[in-house]
Structure 1
Amino acid sequence: MRPVRMRGETRAALLGLALFTGVAGGGQSVQPGMALRVSDDGRFLVKRNGGAVVFLLGDTVWPLAHRLTREEMIHYLEVRRNMGFNLVFFSGVAEFGGLGPNAHGHQPFHLSTRPKTGSGKLPVVCTYPEGEVLFDFTKPRITPGADPGDPEQYDYWDHLEFFVAAAGARGIYAALNPVMATCYLRDGHVDESNAEEIGLFFGRRFGKYGNVIWVLGGDIPPDLAPGSLTIHRRMARGLALGAVGKEDYSTVLISFHPEGRMSSATRLHDEPWLAFNMQQSGHGDDAAYESFRADYERTPPKPVLDGEAWYEALPMRIRLGNRPATAFDVRKRAYWAVFSGAFGHIYGENSVMQLWAPGIAPYENIETIHWRQALERERAMEELRTLSQMDKAASSFVSAVSFEMRTPLTSILGFSEMLVSRRLEPEKEREYVEIIAREAQNLSRLIEDLLDISRLESGKLQLQKEVVGLQRLLDVSLPALETPGGPVKISASIPGDLPPVMVDAQRMKRVFDSLFAYI
């Protein structure tokens, strides 16, 4: 690999950014517990350990692997994390000149000896630094060491791994598209003979990071040409083998990014490697909610996500002269997707998605601004982030309510069974009936509180305060916690000289119920 000249300040910045030199990922560690799986009902992605639902709000930066320096990667991640994003969608080998050199002067692959064999006109975003000569995607340029201050050590893949690890250290998922298929499958770089080997390399290198989600394809129909489905299957197999050592797709999340106004479900829904469906709803104002509802209703159920909606500031249909997408347009399409069943949303902004800066030809000659300035345009997603936070709060609330209802229901069922199945002394019967009546009343009050949730949220819920002794509060709570006919009796003794307190007795009972449930 040829040496790269760097100015003194650039070299110093690189050395300062490295947490540990010579360590893959820059010594950064992905936050624990980030690994995801598909929920049991096939609707969401959840934490692999614990099962908590994760709402993914992503941003799109296709060419970050070769356009950003380490300092710029950190800046980008910090800004997006502070804005509430928890996913970044990008290509390992992107369009817009992804074959290199990257920001540090390195290319991803060695050159091939065979000529270009692909047919048909390639998109304008597909450019080649070495003309019509192919690169060998089975021969990545890898050098010993990973010191970012030493260009002889720090290669293209060290740089990409640094970003994946830096994202995970900030709690951000990496939706990694290994190679942009619209360029490299169309032109013959990726075919049936090498797809599995390419997947194997990516799986081994990046599959160890719990924040990685794989996205095959890239702006192409799944069945672009004869053999395309075989290519996708073999690359998916390679990813699994590289990541976990076997073809086990239960622990490797893989999706597929299709062509515009298309869904992966059209041809891939039943593929065992496809964990969730992805749509590209397209850069227009179509009623996309119909397609999301259709994917949501497919069987067997699989989660669905809009991987590319209308990018903010990009003209409709990507045609000069058409009006660009506003914050309202972007927000509307996000709502259409999420309210139709999508488990998250991926945002995009025209200048950020191509990481435009002076000296770079803008995509389709569309007006752009510096990507650092354009980062602020994500304000369109504020409401969606608020919605996802409300959804998490609602889930926590339901869990709390379920816990609150468990005690009275258990008492009612237990004492009712005793009354039905046994002959009891009249005194015991009366005692059990009173407990049942009391717990039914508690349950009724809990339901009333649920119906009155709007008052609770607005702070207008009135407490029914009264002067009551602590012994009385405990005497009301403890009998309901005893197992009918069980060997354990619960009692409490309160010093007689303690003064009474002014509280909402019913709500204090719930506090005691919650505490005593752990006895």
Structure 2
Amino acid sequence: MKKVSLVFIFLMIFSAGFAQIKPAKDQPYLVDHQGKPFFWLGDTAWELIHRLDKKEIEAYFKKRSAQGYNVIQTVALAELNGLTVPNRNGELPLIDQDPAKPNEAYFKWVDWVVQCAQRHDLQIALLPTWGDKIKLVWGPGPVVFNPENAYAYGKFIGERYKDQPNIIYVLGGDRNMETPEELATVNAMAKGIQEHDNGQHMMTYHPRGGYAASMIVKDAKWLDLDMLQTGHWRKRYPTDSLIAEVRQPNRPLLDGEPCYEDHPIQWKPEIGFFHALDIRQSAYRSVFAGACGHTYGHHGIWQMWQKGRESISSVEVDWKHGLKAKGGGQMKYLKKLMEQTHWYELKPDHLMTASGDSLQTLGSDQYLLIYQEQAKDFSANIEAKPSSISIFDPETGNSKRLQNHLQSNHIKVNFPKKYLNRDAVIVINLDTNSL
């Protein structure tokens, strides 16, 4: 009994010190339990709970944590036949496919996954269910939820994880709920969770491609974080335009499903695939438009595909090799840059009075950051004199100091040849006395 008590006390202390994430008060970014700004760097692992075993999950979490990721997006009732094909332990999540009858053995497995993530300093952005269980449209389904059993299932989930600090709830699941019944089902699930976890956990919604959560659930009081999906239809998606349409000064937002690395464009291999440059352009375009972080995705990883396993849409790289993909490894440099320049103080299009082609800017009293998706020489006028100017390389994370005439508010940037026709960030340290 003493041993059990000591273990329990240790777990309580460990949980109390873990950074539970929530929106900052009246600010468009996230903070931990101490109020420290939290830059969301997520990875997409929708099928992790359903398709991996303990050893594989431990290896996956260890790798992603080492690469700088701090949020893992996954699903309790998975998309790929999650109600009819058992997990690696041979368990299905629901008894008789009834949301009011969750299978305890399966959810003990979910418990272990969430606690394992916590040991690796990872948040779990948990979808209680994929959207096809509420609204079919495509996929296997079956549709099993209605407002009554959605509330009961939400109650079950809310009570179960009310003391688990590394949970962020994500409703929706790649569906735009449009009918009164569909919206009532989502709202009932949210209500069930919030009423039984004492409102402790942040909540968002994962919509279809080209939409933001706020376009679907409107002014729902439970929507803490506005999540977008820009999806897999085109390169250089105008994420900044979508963000400008929905962004509010006091609500954080981010792209929860951009184009995935090694994913076929429009799901058609003959058109081509998204690669590392596409991934970087999507991430920087989003963050430089005001997002509070970013979620990366890889086509082999989201479905945890490996040879001999059913796949969706022309997978060429299995999940283990996907962990070594260039774009995925380069996301940590975005996080590094944002944390070094206090991204939570930066505002889009701030301090720049003239700009060149394809420039996006973020600025504060201390820094001005200029991102180009395809670097070209440019000149511009800024509102403060620079004290230093550097090129930050999104591909390597390295910086190179530029020689400039720093006494002027007019800057001229000439890129070394290696940067031409690829992306780059100009980082300007500002002379605060000149503002």
SS in 2 for 1:220: coil
- Ranges in structure 2 where 5+ consecutive residues have no aligned partner: 137-141, 346-384, 391-398, 402-435
Q: Does 1:110 align with 2:95?
A: yes
Change (3 A) 1:83 1:393: same
Aligned to 2:280: 331
Shift of 1:171: 1.1
Q: Name the counterpart of 2:239.
A: 288
Q: Which runs of 5+ in 1 are unaligned?
A: 1-19, 112-134, 143-154, 399-449, 460-519
Judged with a 3 Å threshold, the aligned counterparts in structure 2 of structure 1 residues 329 and 458 are, in CA distance, closer, same or farther, namely closer
The answer as to 2:356 corresponding to 1:356 is: no
Alignment match, 1:131? none
Contact 2:204–2:226 (8 Å) recurs in 1: yes
Match of 1:367 among 306, 315, 329: 315
Shift of 1:68: 0.8
- Whether the 8 Å contact between 1:31 and 1:170 is mirrored in structure 2 is no
Q: Deviations over 1:273-293 (max 9, x none)?
A: 000111111102232210012
Structure 2 CA distance for partners of 1:184 and 1:357, relative to 1, 3 Å: farther
Q: 1:52 aligned to 22, 36, 41, which one? A: 36
Change (3 A) 1:289 1:312: same
Contact persistence 2:135–2:175 (CA under 8 A): no
Give the Cα separation in 2 of the matches to 1:338 and 1:266.
20
Out of 342-351 and 199-208, give the one that drifted further.
199-208
Q: Secondary structure at the match of 1:363?
A: coil
Of 380-389 and 231-240, the range deviating more from structure 2:
380-389
Distance (whole Å) between structure 2 residues aligned to residue 171 and residue 452 of structure 1: 37
CA distance in 1, matches of 2:269, 2:24: 42
Change (3 A) 1:139 1:83: same
* Preserved contact between residue 262 and residue 279 of structure 1 (Cα < 8 Å): yes
Amino acid corresponding to residue 58 of structure 2 in structure 1? I
Look up the match of 1:305: 254
Q: Which residue of 2 aligns with 1:170?
A: 120
Q: Could you state the TM-score of these two structures normalised by the residue count of structure 1?
A: 0.61
- Paired residue for 2:427? none
Structure 1 position 107, deviation (Å): 1.2
Q: 1:266 to 1:280 in 2, by over 3 A?
A: same
The 2-side partners of 1:74 and 1:45 are apart by 27
Give the C-alpha shift of residue 393 in structure 1. 2.9
Letter in 1 for 2:149: N
Please state how far the C-alpha of 1:207 moved relative to its aligned partner.
2.9
Establish whether residue 198 from structure 1 lines up as the match of residue 148 from structure 2: no
Q: Is the 8 A contact 1:30 1:169 kept in 2?
A: no
Q: CA deviation at 1:229?
A: 1.4
One-letter code aligned to 1:389? K
SS at match of 1:313: coil
- State the one-letter code of the partner of 1:386: Y
- Superposed displacement of residue 173, structure 1: 0.7
Q: Does 1:93 pair with 2:77?
A: yes
Distance 1:183 1:322, change over 3 A: farther
The residue aligned with 1:34 is: 19
Match of residue 65, structure 1, among 25, 38, 49 = 49
- Displacement of 1:343 in angstroms is 0.5
- Listed one character per residue, the Cα deviations across residues 442-482 of structure 1 (whole Å, up to 9, x for unaligned) are xxxxxxxx964669x999xxxxxxxxxxxxxxxxxxxxxxx
**1:192 Cα deviation after fit:** 1.3
CA contact (8 A) 1:45 1:53 kept: yes
Distance 1:109 1:67 in 2: 16
- Give 2:206's aligned residue: 257
Inter-CA distance 454–314: structure 2 relative to 1 (3 Å threshold): closer
Q: TM-score, normalised by structure 2?
A: 0.73
Q: Secondary structure at the match of 2:169?
A: strand
- 1:38 Cα deviation (Å)? 0.9
RMSD: 2.7
Q: Percent identity of the aligned residues?
A: 28
1:86 and 1:208 mapped to 2: Cα distance?
A: 19
Alignment deviations for residues 326-381 of structure 1 (CA, whole Å, 9 cap, x no partner): 111111111111111111111110111100112211103x033321111111x314
8 A contact 1:254–1:275 mirrored in 2? yes
Aligned to 2:324: 376
3-state DSSP of counterpart to 2:73: strand
* Higher fraction of strand: 2
Kept in 2, the 8 Å contact 1:222–1:264? The answer is: no
Query: Counting helix residues as a fraction of each chain, which structure ranks higher?
Result: 1
| CA–CA distance in structure 2, aligned partners of residues 396 and 183 of structure 1 | 38
Matched, 1:387 2:334: yes
Contact 1:314 1:350 in 2 (8 A): yes
Q: Give 4+ residue runs of structure 1 displaced > 2 Å after superposition.
A: 27-31, 182-188, 367-370, 381-398, 450-455
Aligned runs of 1:118-197 on 2, under 5 Å?
135-142=97-104, 155-186=105-136, 187-197=142-152
Deviations 1:112-146 (A, max 9, x none): xxxxxxxxxxxxxxxxxxxxxxx11110122xxxx
Task: Give the SS at the match of 1:376.
Answer: coil
Residue equivalent to 2:164: 209
Write out aligned runs for 1:444-459 (5 A). 452=387
Q: How does 1:422-501 map to 2 (within 5 A)?
A: 452=387
Q: How many residues align?
A: 340
Q: How far has the Cα of 1:394 moved from its partner? A: 3.1
Shift of the 301–325 alpha-carbon distance from structure 1 to 2, 3 Å rule, reads same
Change (3 A) 1:358 1:387: closer
Aligned 8 A contact 2:207 2:216 in 1: no
**Is contact 1:31-1:168 (8 Å) kept?**
no
